[in-house]
Amino acid sequence: MSASVKLEYVSYIGNVLLALITGLAIGAIIISWGGYDPISAYRGLFETSLNIADPYYLAMTLSYATPLMLTAATFAISARAGVFNIGAEGQVFMGALGAVVVASLKLPDQLYLPMALLLGILMGALWGLIAGLFKVLRNVNEVVVTIMLNWIAYWIVEYARIYVYYDRYRPEKTISMPRSGVLPVLVPGSELSASFIIALIVTIIIYLVLWRTRLGYSIRVVGIGLKTAKYAGINPGLTMLYVFIIGGMISGLAGALEICGRPPTYAITTGASNIAGLGFAGISVSLLGLNHPIFIIPASIIIGALNAGSRGMQIRAGVPLEMVKAVQGLIVIALAVPGFTYMLRKWRIRKALRGETGD
Amino acid sequence: MSSRELVVLMKDIVKVYPDGTVALRGVNLELKRGEIHGLLGENGAGKTTLMKILSGLIKPTRGEIYVKGKKVSLKNPAHALSLGIGMVHQHLSLVPVFTAYENIVLGLKNMKPGKTEIEKLMDSTGLKVPLDEVTENLSLGVRQRIEILKMLLRNVDVLILDEPTTNLSPIETRELFKSLRSLKEQGKTIVLITHKIREILEITDRVTVLRKGRVVGSVETNNTNSRELARMMVGREVILEIDKPPVRVGEVALEIEDLHVMSDVGGEAVKGVSFDVRYGEIFGIAGVEGNGQVELAEAIAGIRRVLKGRILLGGKDVTQLSTRERYSMGLSYIPEDRRIALAMDMSVAENSVLTRIIYDKTLVNKMGFLSFNEILRQAMKLVKEFDIVISTFSSPVRTLSGGNQQKLVVGRELSREPSVILAVQPTRGLDVGATEYIRRLLVKMRNKGKAVLLISSDLDEVMGLSDRMAVMYNGRFTGIVDPRKVTEEEVGLMMGGYSIEEIRHEVN
Ligand SMILES: Nc1ncnc2c1ncn2[C@@H]1O[C@H](COP(=O)(O)OP(=O)(O)OP(=O)(O)O)[C@@H](O)[C@H]1O
Ligand SMILES: [Mg+2]
């Protein structure tokens, strides 16, 4: 890494801090405008998220970071290939549904977990593949296709939740994963389970794929320029298809892990509210982490902390849920702004590079 | 000449880029009113950097600039423009969907000049442009005229042109020079950056030679010659003539049969071309750019679709095979644009295996991961063998100077143990030293028994290197000739669409 690259990162972190302060400041204005005390609201936020003294809150932060890390990895690997894939949302839905399907079956105990994860991954991959085929074969814009597929997935899951896989005793949710199929909880009483470790490993694998394999090399060349890729003998369409499939697998896994690894329900709840929004939040995480798998890890923890702390804000400062959500969303967007402009600039530079270079 | 008024004086200019590269080490430059001043120097000598400083695009680390006697500190290009200094960059920056007129007046706040006014300017300078045509439909030569007109309408006294002739045909170059002369008559000062010594001798009044960030000398063009300039530039004698041992041809290596290739805009770019290249020979294709040469090369490499005809590599029909399969069969390809041949944001090391990554198994270790050691070894070999200047192996290739980027591409392609080398404009944008070096390499490859297909719009290059040559015009060959048995005039006519039979018939 050359000196100027390092310098670039330093200035980036500076920008993120600036964005964070701006987000917090505007949030404070909103909170006090609503008649609440911003100081105690933010104290509530941080004391129930990044509180080193209390492992429960830290565990909650990490548990919220888990799915975000994965959906961010989906966006990141696509962005590296120059594809703006926002289909993680729908792929999470399909992955979760896959796990619920397995939960509904009669199986030997030890098969629930592997089968649930496998079917989740496969269904996510299928959803990614469909988007990829539209993009590669018919050259349909990936943003349009993935948004449509997100909605289709949502309604499939809702239908399945209400009519097919509902829990006979608690019909507001689906059948839960049997005890034998859930991942161990790491911090008793919290929602942090071994799915965090799985997410961490997968994210690192994505890093290795991108920088240490032939496929990752091809992905990055495709992201730099189609002409260069073709010149290098790389098939851009096939490479993009791989990216969609891998992305779908990761987000499908994220969905399945929510079913197998998040106490207490281990199911999809009313309106799919416990799995909704994870894919979109992943975009912010990826942008904050400069679409780099390793940087995504701390980025997901930051956004996870905001999620974890929202309850504290509500309980400790009495801020109503709607306002908490608004402030939280504001800060998330603020945090993603520097990364977004960074990506745009890179893509613009890339375009400019086609017109200017070398001297 | 020396009594002329000084318009620009640059004193002791030093430029250190943020990454620590010292591009200029104390440069002095004087520009006089009404002169055409040539700027000559090897790749990476600092020509572009110096002119970017003068046009306000970047700031010098140290040094003083005087414009018309007054010391100035240029804040940005707009500031330089207000002082009458404007630069046309090598890679043009026009809005493709705008008309020529819209591009010319773009950014002019008050007083947009009318078309009649611009037409008057076009008449007085000879820079003719179809004002209502959409820019993306215009040739590079015309786009360049738009950029120059743009500058003139902003009343520049000092016009800087960075390698303006690199992408021009000989005819376009001649027209550009005519315009530059008339601008000079009107008292404008022109700075011309070029690698072509012939152009320097033809049009400049004075020439300043840079080497490694220093001025080697400023001389009156009348008092110098090509040998001296080449020596000043490179710091040693340059042999511009390359001698080749007589050709010892072998079997047919590459055979093209009645090839038809699609163009980007629909229709055929190549309309039925047949030829073969044998092991041990250089087969050249000359022609004005845009007559189907690039499309022909892309079809041979498997990047562009073939409509009709066959391509045989080593006797095997490869028309339906992928680029990857052709590369693994021993085809090497140096494309016309190094921005295609390199992944600019990726590292020097990664780029050193760009065309091997898809087929070379030695680059992958047993675990299925890329072998960094192997890649680095390859990169080190190239850097050493081809004398490429880099800062580190992990820095992005975009930080390399144009010449070093080109050396990386050529080095990579020639060291892949190819049997057929497809080289398109291999020396474009290179200084004489590097040009000589790469031409020598091509000849060396030929002597080693490789088949070389050389496509270039540089007539000297094709005629000097080829054993046999074709001239391409409008998607077809106007003839295949022995370069030692034709004159430049004849080839020039062939480039204009006359067949060799027609030409010889006319003469008799
Ligand atoms: N933005 C940059 N950052 C770092 N180094 C740079 C940058 N631009 C140019 N350089 C370096 O500065 C030196 C001078 O570059 P410059 O582009 O001025 O050369 P040049 O004479 O125009 O060469 P060429 O004939 O290849 O266009 C080179 O070593 C180059 O690598
Ligand atoms: Mg230059």
Residue-wise pLDDT for B446-456, tens only, equals 999 999 999 99
Average pLDDT in the B96-116 region?
A: 82
Give the residue, by CA position, lying nearest to ligand 1 atom 31: B401
Determine whether the interchain pair B369/A218 forms a contact, defined as Cβ–Cβ distance below 8 Å.
no
Q: Order of strands, edge to edge, in the sheet holding B252-262? A: B268-278, B252-262, B306-313, B316-317
What is d(CA A153, CA A277) in angstroms, rounded to the nearest whole number?
13
Question: What is the per-residue pLDDT for A1?
Answer: 44
Share of chain B above pLDDT 90, in %: 57
Q: With an 8 Å Cβ cutoff, are B338 and A224 in contact? A: no
Task: Answer yes or no: do B392 and A212 touch at CB < 8 A.
Answer: no
Residue A356 pLDDT > 60 = no
B42 C-alpha vs ligand 2 centroid, how far in Å? 9
Q: Which residue of A has its CA nearest to B403?
A: A358
Taking CA–CA distances from A223, the nearest residue in chain B reads B343
Considering CB atoms only, which of A1, A4, A356 is closest to B91? A356
Res A350: pLDDT:
59
How high is the pLDDT of residue B247? Answer: 78
**Residue of the nearest CA to atom 3 in ligand 1?**
B17
How many Å apart are CA B491 and CA B489, to the nearest integer?
Answer: 5
B345 Cα: distance to centroid of ligand 1 (angstroms): 16
Residue A352 pLDDT grade (very low, low, confident, very high; cuts 50, 70, 90): low
CA of B190 to the centre of ligand 2 (A): 16
Average pLDDT value for residue range B69-78: 92
What is the pLDDT at residue B238? 62
CA–CA gap between residue B350 and residue B393 (Å, rounded): 9
C-alpha distances in Å from residue B234, one per residue of A193, A246, B23, B73: 67, 52, 17, 32
Cis status, amide bond into B335, omega within 30 of 0: no
Return the pLDDT at A4. Answer: 56
* Distance of alpha carbon B98 from alpha carbon A280, whole angstroms: 37
**Among residues of chain B, what percentage have pLDDT more than 70?**
98
CA–CA distance, A68 with A297 (Å, rounded to integer): 9
B89 CA from centroid of ligand 1 (Å): 14
More confident residue, A81 or A316: A81
* Average confidence (pLDDT) over A203-219: 96
**pLDDT for the residue B244:** 81
Going by CA atoms, what residue is nearest to atom 27 of ligand 1?
A359
DSSP characters over B432-471: HHHHHHHHHHHHHHHHTT-EEEEE-S-HHHHHHH-SEEEE
Contact across the interface for B355 and A208, Cβ inside 8 Å: no
Please tell us whether the domain made up of B6-234 is placed in CATH 3.40.50.300. Answer: yes
Q: Is B40 in the pocket of ligand 1 (CB under 6 A)?
A: no
Query: What is the average pLDDT score of chain A?
Result: 91
The mean pLDDT value for B390-405 works out to 88
The pLDDT score that the predictor gives to residue A359 is 35
| Residue nearest ligand 1's atom 25 by CA | B43
Where is average pLDDT lowest: A65-74, A311-320, A323-332, A340-349? A340-349
Q: Would the CB atoms of B162 and A359 count as touching at under 8 Å?
A: yes
Task: Please name the residues in contact with B189: beta carbons below 8 A apart, sequence gap of 6 or more.
Answer: B7, B8, B31, B32, B33, B34, B35, B36, B37, B157, B158, B159
| pLDDT digit string, tens, across residues B343-364 | 999 999 999 999 999 999 899 9
Whole-number Å distance between alpha carbons of A237 and B429: 33
Q: Angle between the A293-317 and A55-80 helix axes, to the nearest 10 degrees? A: 140
Contacts A234 to B, Cβ<8 Å = 357-358
Pick from A42-46, A316-320, B180-184, B238-242: least confident: B238-242
Mean pLDDT for chain B? Answer: 89
Query: Atom 17, ligand 1: which residue's CA is nearest?
Result: A359
**Pick from A52-66, B157-171, B469-483: least confident:** B157-171
The least confident of A41-45, B314-318, B348-352 is: A41-45
Proximal ligand: closest to the CA of B431:
1
Which residues of chain A does B429 touch, with a Cβ-Cβ cutoff of 8 Å?
Answer: 358-359
Residue B278 near residue B466, CB atoms below 8 Å: no
Q: Which residue of A has its CA nearest to B43?
A: A359
pTM across the whole model = 0.81
Q: Given the CA of residue B163, which atom of ligand 1 is nearest to it?
A: 27
Which pLDDT tens digit goes with each residue over A46-81?
Answer: 888 888 888 999 999 999 999 999 999 999 999 999
Q: Where are the domains positioned within chain B?
A: 6-234, 241-330+418-508, 338-416
- Residue A214 has its nearest CB partner, among B323, B341, B370, at B370
* Distance in angstroms (rounded) separating the CA atoms of residues B61 and B217: 22
pLDDT band, very low/low/confident/very high, at A312 (cuts 50, 70, 90):
confident
Q: Which helix (H) or strand (E) covers residue A93, if one does?
A: helix A88-104
Can you point out the beta strands (E) in B221-278? 252-262, 268-278
The shortest CB-CB distance from B322 to any of A233, A353, A357 is to A233
pLDDT for residue A112? 96
Q: Is A359 in the pocket of ligand 1 (CB under 6 A)?
A: yes
Nearest ligand to the CA atom of B27: 1
pLDDT at B142: 87
Overall size of chain B counted in residues: 508
Of ligand 1's listed atoms, the one at least distance from the Cα of B42 is: 25
User: Nearest C-alpha of chain B: how many angstroms from A215?
Assistant: 9
Name the packing angle between helices A236-261 and A112-138 (round to 10°).
Answer: 150
CA of B92 to the centre of ligand 2 (A): 13
Residues in chain A with CB shorter than 8 Å from the CB of B340 are 225, 227-228, 231
Whether B333 and A231 lie within 8 Å, measured CB to CB: yes
Cβ contact, residue pair B91, A7, below 8 Å: no
- pLDDT, residue B173, reads 86
Interface test with B, best of A228, A235, A292, A342 (most B CBs within 10 A): A228
Probe target for ligand 1 pocket from B401, B407, B427, B438, with the most ligand atoms within 8 Å of CB: B401
Q: A231 and B401 in contact by Cβ < 8 A?
A: no
Nearby residues of A221 by Cβ (< 8 Å), 6 or more positions away? A228, A229, A232, A234, B343, B346, B354
With bands split at pLDDT 50, 70 and 90, how would you rate the model's confidence at B68?
A: very high
Same fold: B6-234 with B241-330+418-508: yes
**pLDDT-based confidence at B508, cuts 50/70/90?**
low
**What value does the mean pLDDT take over residues B476-493?**
88
Reading the block at residue A61, the tokens are 């932060």
Class of domain B241-330+418-508 as given by CATH: alpha beta
Most confident by average pLDDT, A115-119, A334-338, B94-98, B469-473: A115-119
Candidates A213, A231, A242, A350: best to mutate against B (most CBs of B within 10 A) is A231
Q: pLDDT tens-digit profile of B329-348?
A: 999 999 998 889 999 999 99
Q: Which DSSP helix (H) or strand (E) runs through B390?
A: none
DSSP code, position B112? P
Cα A57 to ligand 2 centre (Å): 57
pLDDT of the residue at A358: 33
- Which pLDDT tens digit goes with each residue over B247-285? 788 899 999 999 999 988 778 999 999 999 999 999 999
Using alpha carbons only, give the angle B429, B435, B437 rounded to the nearest 5 degrees: 145
Q: Which two tokens stand for residue A292?
A: 């780099």
Instruction: Decide if A69 contacts A285 (C-beta within 8 A).
Output: yes
Strands (E), A59-145: none
ipTM field: 0.86
Question: Which residue carries 């690698």 as its tokens?
Answer: B195
**Parallel, antiparallel or unpaired: strands B268-278 and B282-286:** unpaired
